[in-house]
Amino acid sequence: MFNKILIANRGEIALRIICACKELGIQTVAVYSEADRYSLHVRFADEAVCIGPPRSAESYLNIASIISAAEITGAEAIHPGYGFLAENPKFAEVCETSNLTFIGPRPEVIELMGNKNAARRRMAELNLPALPGTEIICSPKEAQREAQRIGYPVMIKASAGGGGRGMRLARNEEDLPRQLETAQNEAQAAFGCPDVYLEKCADRPRHIEFQVLGDHHGKVIHLGERECTIQRRHQKIVEESPSTQVQEALRREIGAKVIRALREIGYTSAGTVEFLMDADRNLYFLEMNTRIQVEHPVTEMVTGLDLVKLQIELAAGAPLPIDGDTLELHGHAIECRINAENPETFAPSAGKITGIHVPGGIGIRVDTAAYSECVIPPYYDSLIAKLIAHGHDRDEAIQRMKRALDMFIVEGISTSIPVHQRIMNDADFCAGNFDTGFLSRFSANGSGRL
């Protein structure tokens, strides 16, 4: 086991990793930007190193500064969390050449699965079903020709994309050139690569993902699915496990295919294989995230596992301590992402938290690095807390979530708590009747702006 791990991240996920390390008896090193000097991950780590100014490019994305921090503190491994450098194959490779263990899969696996188009092609070869799509699109004329072949509507996707950026829907031939240009510009700005491809857009789809773990001894398992369909602009805001739409037979079928595919590519560490479900409950491969997910707590709540501790143990060479290829899921868990943003316009709401009350009670978990008088800086993602409710069944989980949302108080800034309250009280959501367009219709039905 490692003696000291550097955490190349910030906020609640950095604090979450520190908690796992403390339970494993591992010393921790926090890195922070000047904007995060008084953050909780800095306070609770055993050591902390400032790596640059507030802007991510000069701090949390500065590979040289992070490697230097690891070397001067004597860290043996680096945990990237999610976001920032977590799926950067160059960073993983630099860690290896610097004799630092990267807590994640091998660089070549990150690179393969990080390119959505290449990943989709490889997974199709390994018998995971995929929606009809294209290779990289080079011109509007080619896009129109391919879209006619696939059939409208089509989704334009950034090959190196994530988080909904570089992703646009084209409903017809007239709409395609404008949406193509927008997607390419977004992809260039966000990822430094304008490459996009087309994919058939399923009607009223749902977003389903399978949590996986792989060790260095050839064993891969899955831990069931998460439903991540409630999204705003292709970004998840509510997640739950298990999905009401995935029956045991489908879970076994897709889980077995996922395991076979990931064994073939030599996958290690935690990861998530994402699927689109159509109206007939067919699942189609979308992409893979080669890291821990924001929504990993819902899987932890229904399996009883600590996924971050397992990540660390697997990186140290331990075998998976689980017999078989999956676990039975117990109860139901729901996660609401609490963001620092206006609940009506979704505009970011940076500033000082002047008061905060975090809910508790049976079945409630809160992952956060926020505290009274802390400052939410304007430079990073707006996520300030993850509120997770677990119940014997979905109805109980929803009721506990409602209670927790009512008791979650944040003063001084605006948050998305009112949005989640509306969702939890919506009849269609409670009945499990929704798809990725849920929020747009929710607003259109006069239930309040979202």
Q: What pLDDT shows up at residue 201?
A: 87
- 291 catalytic residue (yes or no): yes
State how far the Cα of 249 lies from the Cα of 231, in Å rounded to an integer. Answer: 27
Q: Which residues contact 442 (CB under 8 A, 6 or more apart)?
A: 422, 423, 426, 450
Residue 175 sits in a domain whose CATH number is 3.30.1490.20
| DSSP letter (8 states) at residue 367 | E
Q: Is 285 left (phi over 0), alpha (psi -120 to 50) or beta?
A: beta
CB atoms within 10 A of CB 268: 22
Task: Show the tokens assigned to 283.
Answer: 């699942």
Alpha-carbon gap, residue 365 to 401, rounded angstroms: 10
Same domain for 236 and 97: no
N- to C-terminal Cα distance for the chain? 47
Asked whether the beta carbons of 277 and 283 are under 8 A apart, the reply is: yes
DSSP three-state, residue 434 = coil
For residues 157 and 199, the answer to whether their CB atoms sit within 8 Å is yes
Strand order in the sheet with 196-200: 165-170, 154-162, 196-200
Do 153 and 20 share a structural domain?
no
Choice among 106, 226, 291, 365 that is catalytic: 291
Domain membership of residue 124 (yes or no) is no
Tokens of 360: 């508790």
The answer to whether residue 127 is domain-embedded is no
Q: What CATH number should be reported for the domain holding residue 241?
A: 3.30.470.20
Residue pair 131/200 in contact (Cβ under 8 Å)? The answer is: yes
Encoded tokens for 126: 């390994």
- Which pLDDT does position 448 carry in this prediction? 46
Q: Are residues 241 and 264 in the same domain?
A: yes
Q: So what's the pLDDT on residue 73? A: 98
Please tell me whether residues 309 and 404 are part of one structural domain: yes
d(CA 66, CA 79): 11
Picking from 200, 232, 250, the residue at the C-terminal end of a domain is 200
399 alpha-carbon distance from chain centroid: 25
The pLDDT of residue 166 is 87
Between CA 253 and CA 266 the distance in angstroms is: 20
Domain boundary among 155, 173, 200: 200
Amino acid at 7: I
- Whole-angstrom distance, CA of residue 124 vs CA of residue 122: 5
Q: What's the pLDDT at 446?
A: 47
How many domains does the chain divide into?
3
Neighbours of 201 (CB within 10 A): 18
Task: Specify the residue for token string 């800086």.
Answer: 377
Same domain, 22 and 164: no
Which residue among 173, 200, 227 closes a domain?
200
Task: Say if 295 falls within a structural domain.
Answer: yes
Question: The tokens of 402 are what?
Answer: 């409602």
Walking along the chain (450 residues) 10 residues at a time, the average pLDDT comes out as 98 98 98 98 98 97 98 98 96 98 98 91 94 90 93 90 82 92 91 90 92 98 98 92 97 97 98 95 95 98 98 98 95 98 92 98 98 97 97 98 98 98 97 93 56
Same domain, 153 and 234: no
Q: Which amino acid is at 176?
A: L
**Residue-range definition of the domain harbouring residue 332:** 206-444
Co-location of 192 and 257 in the same domain: no
User: Do residues 325 and 413 share a domain?
Assistant: yes
pLDDT on residue 172: 92
